[in-house]
A and B are shown apart, each in its own frame.
Chain A
């Protein structure tokens, strides 16, 4: 089965750039999306098709995907960005695959 690996936690200072990675075999050949989930809330799509932002998602959220690694970048991180972030891809054998999630702390 296909697997996506994320770091369990990432810390960033307010105003700095946060980088969250997602690794998988030949992940660059697949489209990746990213979800943000705050405590007690449902996930929200923040990036799809590697680097596209849904309407309403701030420009500080961006994404890239190449080789075996996809990256979610949050520029000028704000306290409100503190959340869990999940990457997700589609695989022909495992269908929908989520990464294990990364807890982003803004301190």
Chain B
């Protein structure tokens, strides 16, 4: 069964750091691009970052550039999101998703999400 499970969310103070993890099962992580998407509760989806299957190509949304780092460890079947200098506006549910990067680029598998709350 193809599955993604996020972890690492929680309450953090403004300016703090947090590392999210996403463990993949049911498919070979190293064969796929992967992405992080976030959603403020009650609001829409916002793309955060994606990383190529090799890890050599990485893109970030302007809203997080310089504060967030995406990485992957195929041996551990995991995707990561290191978040630094967190702000209140980073409060959201963070989803990892498999980013199928063929001719019709799409997020075809999503995790259940992990909630990050930035508050003093």
Binding site for B on A (CB under 8 A): 1, 31, 33, 35, 37, 42-45, 48-50, 52, 54, 86, 88, 90, 95-101
User: Residues on B close to A: CB < 8 A?
Assistant: 35, 37, 44-47, 50, 59, 61-62, 95, 100, 103-108, 110-113
- The A interface is mostly helix, strand or loop, or mixed, namely strand
Given A42-B95, A42-B113, A43-B45, residue A31 in contact with residue B35 (CB < 8 A): no
B110 touching A42 by the CB < 8 A rule?
A: yes
Chain B positions within 8 Å of A50 at CB level:
104
**CA–CA, A43 and B44, complex, Å:** 11
Inter-chain contact A96/B104, CB cutoff 8 Å: no
Residues of B within 8 A of A88 (CB): 45, 106-107
New A-B pairs, 8, CB < 8 Å, besides A48-B100, A48-B108: A31-B104, A44-B110, A45-B108, A86-B45, A95-B47, A95-B50, A96-B35, A98-B45
Shortest Cβ distance from B32 into chain A, in angstroms?
Answer: 14
Contacts of B111 in A (CB 8 A): 42
User: Within the complex, what minimum Cβ distance (angstroms) separates A74 from chain B?
Assistant: 18
State A35–B45 Cα separation when bound (angstroms). Answer: 10
| 29 A–B pairs (Cβ distance < 8 Å), ordered by A | A31-B103, A33-B106, A33-B107, A35-B45, A35-B107, A42-B95, A42-B110, A43-B95, A45-B106, A45-B107, A48-B106, A49-B104, A50-B104, A54-B108, A88-B106, A88-B107, A95-B59, A95-B61, A96-B35, A96-B37, A96-B47, A96-B50, A97-B47, A98-B37, A98-B45, A98-B46, A98-B47, A100-B44, A101-B45
Question: In whole angstroms, how far apart are the Cα atoms of A8 and B95 in the complex?
Answer: 22
